[in-house]
Structure 1
Amino acid sequence: MKNITDDEALLPAVVAVTQAAGSHLKSRFSFDSRLGSGDEIVAAIHANDAESSGLLREGLKKARPGAGWVEDELEVGMLPPGEWWVTDPVEGNINHIHGMADWCVTATLVRDNTPVLTVVNLPMTGDTYTAIRGGGAYLDGVRLHASAKTKLDAALVGTGQARPGEDRETHRRIGQSVIAMLAGALVLRVSVPATLQLIQVAAGRMDVFWQYSQVRSGLLAGALLVQEAGGRISDTHGRPWSLASGDFLAAAANLHAASVDVLSTIA
């Protein structure tokens, strides 16, 4: 059983590995990128993933040799017992290959299906977000605090799709939740990737984020950051969230109940 001191000792190595992968991806980035066909898009995504995941895997396995490695960043569901590295080599890859700056690199250590350490690097801004369970959430060493807002009608909220190719039922729930939240919140944004909205919730710049379906690598990093910043995590009905949950909600503590009231109406 590891403790917070062990994870604190591990954190600098994870930061270094994640930043190195981010720096390499930045060297591959161009604001002038213009892709045409679906085949070109898929090829560019796979090329980016291969470049980044190789660096991440080598560095993280060296930092924690006994931890397992999740090969596919689009996997869902519970993990086997023990420690696992869950990464997204280029979260927001679709943005990277289209010349947009909103993408990141994430690495999260999961212990018995609970995220215990995470690093999120934003290469285009140089920002690095970190969190250790029980140790707080930070942006480049500065402590993060979730929003203190108390009214949903003053809230900036957001959602987005977990991945391409979701089923029609998931699309329906996304659409209905957007309509419901547009009536309750101040402003709503819909964008990808999830982590780039969740870091804003952790930093108190945004107030609520939710998502139907789930991809582990898109939620684990942000979930830990939000919790350690004082926000609340659950499913959209207010029940405890886990990797077995069907949907996800992160909210400022004072807005969680109101968010559940709105989103729990979506069948």
Structure 2
Amino acid sequence: MSEELKAELLDVALEAARRAGELLRDGRPADLAVAATKSSPIDVVTEMDIAAEKLIAGVLAERRPADGLLGEEGADIAGTSGVRWIVDPLDGTVNYLYGLPGWGVSIAAEYRGETVVGVVEAPMRGETYRAVLGGGALMGTTRLECRPAAPLEQALIATGFGYLQTRRAHQAEVVARVIPLVRDIRRGGSAALDLCDVAAGRLDGYYERGLNPWDLAAGELIAREAGALTGGRSGEPASGELTVAATPAVYASLLPLLEEAGAWHD
């Protein structure tokens, strides 16, 4: 892939994420309510999720009409260019519904199956994270680097929980195994922002089971380009089974702990 094409994809992603972030921040109705549910009654969609994905799809169709698109709220277009966009128009919907600031817009571009560009817009933080494969990661104009090496017992680790009761119950058991062995646990409510916080040195590590491609595509690239290690179970790529991102030292200790605790299954 040429550097010119990478730069074009980054520019498109930045525009789409900025415009969707402005819509979500400035257009949130005071009486915002749940528009639909998905996997369970607490896995919610609001009218703003749908509006943001429509806006992003429009930007992509205008600027890159031959590309594919996979969006959380239903967009699924094959495309003919070899480029496919992976879009979460509102990562952290429950936070957004409750008026909490921990939400963002996540947009990644794949080329022939490999993620080459990632952008996460965090309007309530006033921050934009971005990465290009092989080009490092930035927050605004600041180059991102994950935290220096630290032992697991001094590591601040983030995680998340699924929406199905059986999965949540087991995830709570995993946390009970992990928390005595680390500095502390955080639960922010947005996988994309947790991954960016690993990149920015605000967390030593993050893990979660049950993520979808749109939850992790952009944030995982940003974390990797900031020097973090990312992956799944037993050296596999990050996936819905398990996603782990951490500083190299913490990753080496955290991954076997999660394996032993059964973080990869319900």
Give the Cα–Cα distance (whole angstroms) in 2 for the partners of residues 99 and 42 of structure 1.
16
Q: How do residues 1-267 of structure 1 correspond to structure 2 at under 5 angstroms? A: 2-29=1-28, 40-42=33-35, 45-73=45-73, 82-162=82-162, 164=163, 166=164, 168=166, 170-235=167-232, 237-243=233-239, 246-267=241-262
Please tell me whether the aligned partners of residues 74 and 217 of structure 1 are also in contact (alpha carbons under 8 angstroms): no
| Distance 1:137-1:42 versus aligned 2 partners, 3 A rule | same
Q: SS of the counterpart of 1:105?
A: strand
Change (3 A) 1:141 1:82: same
- What per-residue deviation string (whole Å, max 9, x for no partner) do you get for residues 115-147 of structure 1? 110111111122110001111110002110011
After TM superposition, the score normalised by the length of structure 2 is 0.86
Residue type at the aligned position of 2:192: T
Shift of the alpha carbon at 1:62?
2.5
Distance 1:81 1:249, change over 3 A: farther
Shift of 1:225: 0.6
Deviation at 1:207, TM superposition (A): 0.7
Give the residue type in structure 2 aligned to 1:16: E
Write the distance in 2 (CA, Å) between the matches of 1:176 and 1:81: 45
Aligned equivalents of 2:74, 2:241: Cα separation in 1? 15
Deviation by residue 1:195-245 (Cα, 9 ceiling, x = unmatched): 11111101111011001122111111111011100000111x4413154x5
Runs of 4+ in 1 over 6 A off after TM superposition: none
Secondary structure in 1 aligned to 2:198? helix
Equivalent residues of 1:184, 1:262 under 8 A apart? no
How far off its partner does 1:74 sit? 8.0
Gapped runs of 5+ residues in structure 1?
none
Residue 237 of structure 2 aligns to a residue whose secondary structure is coil
Q: 1:157 to 1:242 in 2, by over 3 A?
A: closer
Number of paired residues?
Answer: 251
Q: Structure 1 residues 171 and 93, CA, compared in 2 at 3 Å: closer, same or farther?
A: closer
* Amino acid paired to 1:266: A
CA distance in 2, matches of 1:247, 1:253: 17
Cα distance in 2 between the residues matched to 1:62 and 1:69:
13
SS in 1 for 2:197: helix
Local SS of the residue matching 1:210: strand
Change (3 A) 1:82 1:246: farther
Deviation at 1:61, TM superposition (A): 2.4
Query: Matched residues in 1 for 2:150 and 2:170: separation?
Result: 26
Which residue identity is paired with 1:205?
Answer: R
Give, in angstroms, the shift of residue 89 of structure 1.
1.0
Distance in structure 2 (CA, Å) of the matches to 1:206 and 1:74? 32
Tell me which amino acid in the other structure corresponds to 2:111: R
| CA separation of 1:224 and 1:115: change in aligned 2, threshold 3 A | same
Structure 2 CA distance, aligned partners of 1:174 and 1:246?
12
Q: Give percent identity, aligned residues only.
A: 26
CA RMSD of aligned residues (A): 2.3
TM-score, scaled relative to structure 1: 0.86
